[in-house]
Amino acid sequence: MDLSAARVLITGASRGIGLEIARALHAQGATIIGTARSEASIAAAVEELDMIPVVGDLNDPAVADRVIDEALTHGPIDVLINNAGIEIVGQVAEQDPNDLRAVIGVNLEVPITLAHHVLPHMLERGSGRIVNVSSMASVVSSPGWATYSASKAGLSSFSRSLKTELAGTGVGVTVVEIGFVQTDMLDDLRSNDFVKASFDRYKRLGLARIMAADEAASAIATAIEKERSHVRLPKRSIAMSMIANAPRRFAELVQKGVPTA
């Protein structure tokens, strides 16, 4: 995909990985439409990258339902990057059910809703890409983040199934399964004793490497440009994702040629 004239909608573009993706794509000439919860949180990114802001709490279904239409008022969307995500760590038995619903809502329901709204426009043009920022947590189990892992496992599964549904349409899907990235979210994660203990264990075993957000963003930008269907980082963890996804890959091969329209 030629990114120099692309129009890209990034959810959660105010900070962390989303902001770095915006920087990487803006540097290649793309126009960025970025979402965040408030004008104040996205103001600096708007100023720096000439970003078009779309503001609202995506956990509100009315906001999730209007984001695509609002973005489309600026022209067609070539790439939707479902990046916004939240982590509320703790033991399931002790957590507030509203927090559990919010994690599933923002991390899983919102990307599906935005894909639903943008797809008719991409299919009509016969081109486009949906990028879903999942996580290595989609394939590993650790105490303290069961609901987060479930949301990301759902997002990875949705992405790969959607890819089969869109075969031959000109619209592609990229799923991003990455390990630890230095952002506000990682700081929050490590504030929980259970998560910190499992994080430290991964580190001792040499399985965890903390990436900089711009490293993850650069790999995501390259995957969009080269129309790749997945991003897996860091390299030392690639086998986990490949093994866990082997049944899905097998089904994709078996279903090659199954009509999708």
Ligand X SMILES: NC(=O)c1ccc[n+]([C@@H]2O[C@H](COP(=O)([O-])OP(=O)(O)OC[C@H]3O[C@@H](n4cnc5c(N)ncnc54)[C@H](OP(=O)(O)O)[C@@H]3O)[C@@H](O)[C@H]2O)c1
**Residues that bind ligand X in the complex, under the rule CB under 6 A:** 12, 14-18, 35-38, 41, 57-59, 83-86, 106, 133, 135, 178, 180-181, 183-186
Give the C-alpha separation, 108 to 155, whole Å: 6
How near is the Cβ of 169 to ligand X at its closest, in Å? 25
**Residue 166 vs 195, nearer CB to ligand X:** 195
What would you report as the CA-atom Rg of the chain, rounded to the nearest whole angstrom? 18
**Residue 55 vs 123, nearer CB to ligand X:** 55
How near is the Cβ of 261 to ligand X at its closest, in Å? 31
**Residue 46 vs 123, nearer CB to ligand X:** 46
**Residue 150 vs 186, nearer CB to ligand X:** 186
How near is the Cβ of 75 to ligand X at its closest, in Å? 22
**Which residue is catalytic, options 145, 148, 180, 199?**
148
**Residue 22 vs 119, nearer CB to ligand X:** 22
Query: Catalytic: 202?
Result: no
How near is the Cβ of 260 to ligand X at its closest, in Å? 27
DSSP string across the chain? --GGG-EEEESS-SSHHHHHHHHHHHHTT-EEEEEES-HHHHHHHHHHHTPEEEES-TTSHHHHHHHHHHHHTTS--SEEEE-------S-GGGS-HHHHHHHHIIIIIHHHHHHHHHHHHHHHHT-EEEEEE--GGGT---TT-HHHHHHHHHHHHHHHHHHHHTTTTTEEEEEEEE--B-SHHHHHHTTSHHHHHHHHHHHHTT---PBPHHHHHHHHHHHHHTT-SEEEESGGGHHHHHHHTHHHHHHHHHTTT----
Give the C-alpha separation, 81 to 65, whole Å: 16
**Residue 145 vs 166, nearer CB to ligand X:** 145
How near is the Cβ of 108 to ligand X at its closest, in Å? 10
User: Tokens 């991409």 belong to which residue?
Assistant: 122
User: Tokens 């963890």 belong to which residue?
Assistant: 237
Give the C-alpha separation, 53 to 211, whole Å: 27
The residues assigned a catalytic role are: 148
